[in-house]
Amino acid sequence: MSQAVLKLKKVIVDFSGFKAINQLDFTVKPNSVHFVIGPNGAGKTTLLDVVCGKTKATNGEIKLQGTTEISKLSEDQIVHQGISRKFQAPSIFQNLSVIDNLEIAMKQKKKLFSMITAKWTNEQKKKVSEMLELVGLKEVQDQSAGSLAHGQKQWLEIAMVLMQEPDIVLLDEPIAGMSKKERNKTGELITKIAKDRAVLIVEHDMDFVKEYADIVSVMHEGQLLFEGSMEEVQNDPTVREVYLGRKVEEHVVS
């Protein structure tokens, strides 16, 4: 069970001289809620970018399920390998209805010619319906996605990610801009979806991380600084120095 679903080995991402990720080794285990934290510019978002194919690794290898090398694949191929990503700003299709958004997101053959003849199957209808229940968008399913509230848009996008039935879900600051109530709901949702798959989340909100994390990775200057439970992270002296350091000093002063 503890075999890694995703393994990065000595990955480098070089933005014309600036190494956003430098010789990074990183492992994601199945069925876990895995948070990535770190100061700004630590390479957290670049880590997600390089896994989902938005940015190509300059060097190193990224292996899925121990076998499939994905660092050379295009974005859409990576999706079909079982990695789905939710972006920071909700990027849903405003002009399509909620149900349309899920329809095009769901797992299916997405090649041109299979799409021309695509029809709803009963199974697909059931899946979409269940997903709408899960994220609480059943009542608004026929509204255009652009008319949703901010929190609803975030859930719609999470739903779109889940409809692809991925093995790994990448979330970039999923609770940004959410109310207390919405955050709790999102947290529960994340716990629920992690039962069947790995969830890798970049997040700044430490209370949220503390509440829902199974594993926390701390990144610093494009490298992995520390990995462990939130408790271990909080007690590690090097982490305190680079990341929590300032906070500790503040406490001392006050």
Partner 1 sequence: MQNTIYQKIWSQRVILNLIFLLLLAAPLFLSDFRLNLLGKFLAFAILAIGLDLLWGYTGVLSLGHGIFFGLGAYCMAMYLKLEATGGGLPDFMAWSGMSELPLIWIPFQYPIVAIILGILLPAIIAFMLGYLTFRNRISGVYFTILSQALVLVVVTLFVGSQNLTGGSSGLTNFNTFFGFSVNSATTQTAFYIITVIVLGLVFFLSRKLVKGRFGKILVGIRDGENRMRFLGYSPSAYKTFIYTLSAAIAGLAGMLFVLQVGIISPTMIGIIPSIEMVLWVALGGRGTLIGPVIGAVLVNAAKTGFSESYPDIWTYFLGLLFVLVVVFLPKGITGLFEKWNDRRKKQDVSSSVEVEKSYS
Partner 2 sequence: MNEIILTLFNGVSLGSILLLIALGLAITFGLMNVINMAHGELIMIGAYITYVIQNIFINYAPPEYFDLYFIISIPVALVVAAGIGMLLEVSLIRHLYKRPLDSLLATWGVGLILQQTARSIFGAPNVGVTSPSFLSGGLEVGSLILPYSRLFILGLSIVCLFSIFYYFYRTASGRRVRAVMQNRQMAECLGVSTRKVDMLTFAIGSGFAGVAGCALTLLGAIGPTIGTSYIIDAFMVVVVGGVGALFGAVSGAFGIGILNTVFEYVTNATLGKVLIFIVIIAFLQWRPSGLVMSRSRSLD
List contacts with partner 2 (CB under 8 A).
15-16, 54, 87, 89, 91
Name the binder of 63 from partner 1, partner 2, none, CB < 5-8 A by kind.
none
Considering only CA atoms, give the Rg of the chain. 19
Residue 174 CB, nearest distance to partner 1 (Å)? Answer: 15
Could you tell which of partner 1, partner 2, none binds residue 16, using a CB distance below 5 to 8 A set by kind? partner 2
- 2, 17, 40, 112: which one binds partner 1 (CB under 8 A): 112
Site string for partner 1, 63-82 (x = CB under 8 A): -----------xxx--xx--
Minimal distance, residue 109 CB to partner 2, in Å: 25
**Residues near 120 by Cβ (< 8 Å), separated by ≥ 6?**
103
DSSP-based three-state secondary structure for 172: strand
Which residues does 83 contact at the CB level (< 8 Å), separation at least 6?
6, 51, 52, 64, 70, 166, 167, 168, 170
Please choose, from the candidates 166, 161, 202, 160, the residue with its C-alpha nearest in 3D space to the C-alpha of residue 65. 166
122 contact choice in partner 2, partner 1, none (CB below 5 to 8 Å, kind-dependent): none
Return the residues of window 32-61 that contact partner 1 according to CB under 8 A: 52, 54
Report how far apart, in Å, the C-alpha atoms of 136 and of each of 63, 151, 194, 198, 234 are. Answer: 35, 11, 18, 22, 35
**Cα separation, 81 vs 116, whole angstroms:** 23
44 binds, among partner 2, partner 1, none (CB under 5 to 8 A by kind): none
Q: Is 167 in the site for partner 1 (CB under 8 A)?
A: no
